[in-house]
Structure 1
């Protein structure tokens, strides 16, 4: 029997309309949101495990499994899995991040039972046939090669490796060519069985549904997995590791490639997702490089025409995060681009951003949040991440209020703390060694 739990957190307010949560025996959580006016359902089986949970010998295992589990189960072949969703016009896929893995589907509401059954089968009863391991090994290696052919992706991976040097967050989600080539079937099987357990799982569904119907389908499809976990086993709470101990020193990494552009990423450690200053960071990022009116876009592209693509970005994990700036430009312009970016960062670190910039960033974030939830997959992602990362659901109104509460002083204080730290820099471009890079980058 499932337990329907109250989503109200003391002092926070009422749960989002239509959102319900149940916890089944074995710690499996089911979170749903009924969405009026749609005829589809988005469903995801989430596991609170990602690439940061791998040992060095397992690097890339979570992503490798994402490919491999679709290759067949005891009941279904890879072809029959694909045919089942093609026959109903549904979408079936998966993704892996540094802290999560998700297997998801989007189908018509009438095909929800099919989606639950197939996804549960894939996640808990895959064969991991040795022949399929070898087949997918080649596919993953091709994916790594494709990443290496995309300098913007590559420079981001290099930045993470340098910023989080020696920490599991620094390893690429996809693994390395060496780790994937050396990945044994037993290593993958052990990672799967050790981590894909119901106390770590969340089933999230949004669309034209009823909570009780989803719980019934999930209980039937994943009942055996719940039994293996044991009756009365509780769900795993959100991860709360000690703050990551990152060494703050200038780092520069270069990969020489025969590219038409130079690709630059530079940045600093950020804050964790539990940090109360996270809304201020979102406002800071938006004003710094989040859109056409941002300082970086205006200074680098609009006023000087130095680059087509320039933006800032941030990540938040359970124990740390990052703030970074990306720019792609002609190699001859890298020095000027770097100088402008560093000047903007220094100005914001010293003086924060204006009240007008704060207001504009808040409006951008509010609009993006609400418009981003106009489809069921986005709502499904929000439900699952909230459950895994925070153990509770936040209303849209609560999120909007947090953004609205940010002041220019909040942003200035955070910018002064973060942006004054030593910079980590990664570059991909037609350079033989670091001596060919602009002095401003070489000096950190």
Structure 2
């Protein structure tokens, strides 16, 4: 059980100047699940969640930069940079970085999204100082050498090619393009072959300097960790790198904005010689700060979130028209998406689209049954808790929360918000979201007459 707390302490320097501010954001029972935040004078935020019962710890650094921060010419630069930070620093070569983590049985990785990037290492609690030193060194001391830029270009082009070979993945990028057009949110995180081939070391290095300032970073650690020790080790690593010289720096605020996504009836079809047709039918969703997101989560779970969901039952179980069918939501700082994905034989695409559209319209006008809502609340509550049962998931939760919301919510609070969703809440959000005219993205070998009929699905 956790409760909120706003206890704040500041440690003064010899000149009487505050050098750090520490807050207990969530107070756990007997110290378990306690979340603390320290903000260093250089604008670097450090959040930890203590779980003494485990023997592991996950350490990560979140950067307030994603593919939506790129210009058209820089498309793919954020992900390119993610690769390059593993290539070496003044202290370590790429082999030194990987072999040090391998030698203690740890794991290390990173991921780039539309609005943030994260680098992390999961190790035994006794090896946490090593993980902190390596990840901090990567983030503050990357060399970004010309030879590494050239070598990694080929790796990223292979990654793009690998992704292109998976139409079930590409169709989601195509759907983003359908909804957002030629904007940062509509472009692929990986970039394109043309933009990756055109990126040079100078532009990538400038991008790194601009977006990896400590004010743009959040350090997160979860597991058998001591907050004060983590702060001390992180501070030492950043100060050695000369990264905390701006003593009056203030952390960047979470993204905001009031973008209204208005798109309806758009259709994008990419002809590919695939065995299946891959489709995403969807419409604008909710921003991640929208209070209706809890009701939308329940709606999404009941509609396409599992084997008992409406779409799974109607499309797969009753008619056998698809192996994979599900719905999903994506929330950004100022807008969002709701989508339904299905993979089916090309000659059955219009049957699948017809059923999906019929179910969306039905729920938009009638809502869900009480039984569906109760089941969805239970499913969503259980998956929320089960998904947080390792230190990596805990690190993700507190790091992303600090970066994207600037606040922390306990698991108990999350469960309470889910449990508080009413049938009227679900019906209202269903009418708002599903009542919109959808757009459609399709990848597959459709004949001319089949392709021409796609507009019928969004009319």
TM-score (norm 2): 0.92
Is 1:71 paired with 2:123? no
Moved more, 326-335 or 222-231: 222-231
Is 1:188 paired with 2:204? yes
The 3-state SS of whatever aligns with 1:234 is: coil
Is 1:290 paired with 2:285? no
Residue 4 of structure 1 corresponds to which residue in structure 2? 22
Residue 98 of structure 1 corresponds to which residue in structure 2? 114
Residue 16 of structure 2 corresponds to which residue in structure 1? none
User: Alpha-carbon deviation of 1:434?
Assistant: 7.0
Select which of 352, 371, 380 maps to 1:356: 371
- What whole-Å deviation, never above 9, does each CA across 1:235-267 have from its counterpart, x for those lacking one? 1111112x2233323111111111011101110
Residue 330 of structure 2 corresponds to which residue in structure 1? 315
Select which of 33, 43, 49 maps to 1:27: 43
Select which of 407, 428, 439 maps to 2:422: 407
Following superposition, which runs of at least 4 residues in structure 1 exceed 6 angstroms of deviation? none
The 3-state SS of whatever aligns with 1:246 is: coil
Rate the CA distance shift 1:171–1:30 in 2: closer, same or farther, 3 A: same
Asked if the contact 1:27/1:226 (under 8 Å) is kept, the reply is no
Q: Distance in 2 between matches of 1:271 and 1:226?
A: 40
Residue 430 of structure 1 corresponds to which residue in structure 2? 445
Residue 214 of structure 1 corresponds to which residue in structure 2? 230
Rate the CA distance shift 1:330–1:428 in 2: closer, same or farther, 3 A: same
Rate the CA distance shift 1:225–1:201 in 2: closer, same or farther, 3 A: farther
Is 1:149 paired with 2:160? no
Select which of 269, 277, 290 maps to 1:275: 290
Residue 354 of structure 2 corresponds to which residue in structure 1? 339
Q: Distance in 2 between matches of 1:365 and 1:214?
A: 33
- Structure 1, unmatched stretches of 5+, are 10-14
User: Alpha-carbon deviation of 1:224?
Assistant: 4.7
Asked if the contact 2:357/2:457 (under 8 Å) is kept, the reply is no
The 3-state SS of whatever aligns with 1:346 is: helix
Q: Distance in 1 between matches of 2:191 and 2:106?
A: 30
User: Alpha-carbon deviation of 1:92?
Assistant: 1.0
Rate the CA distance shift 1:377–1:406 in 2: closer, same or farther, 3 A: same
- What whole-Å deviation, never above 9, does each CA across 1:289-332 have from its counterpart, x for those lacking one? 00011110010011111111000000101000000000001111
Residue 84 of structure 1 corresponds to which residue in structure 2? 100
User: Alpha-carbon deviation of 1:45?
Assistant: 0.7
Rate the CA distance shift 1:168–1:220 in 2: closer, same or farther, 3 A: same
Rate the CA distance shift 1:433–1:96 in 2: closer, same or farther, 3 A: farther
The 3-state SS of whatever aligns with 1:2 is: strand
- Structure 2, unmatched stretches of 5+, are 1-18
Residue 77 of structure 2 corresponds to which residue in structure 1? 61
Q: Distance in 2 between matches of 1:174 and 1:109?
A: 33
Is 1:175 paired with 2:191? yes
Q: Distance in 2 between matches of 1:107 and 1:99?
A: 27
User: Alpha-carbon deviation of 1:225?
Assistant: 5.5
Residue 150 of structure 2 corresponds to which residue in structure 1? 134
Residue 262 of structure 1 corresponds to which residue in structure 2? 277
Rate the CA distance shift 1:430–1:227 in 2: closer, same or farther, 3 A: closer
Residue 383 of structure 2 corresponds to which residue in structure 1? 368
Q: Distance in 1 between matches of 2:206 and 2:54?
A: 40
Asked if the contact 1:197/1:225 (under 8 Å) is kept, the reply is no
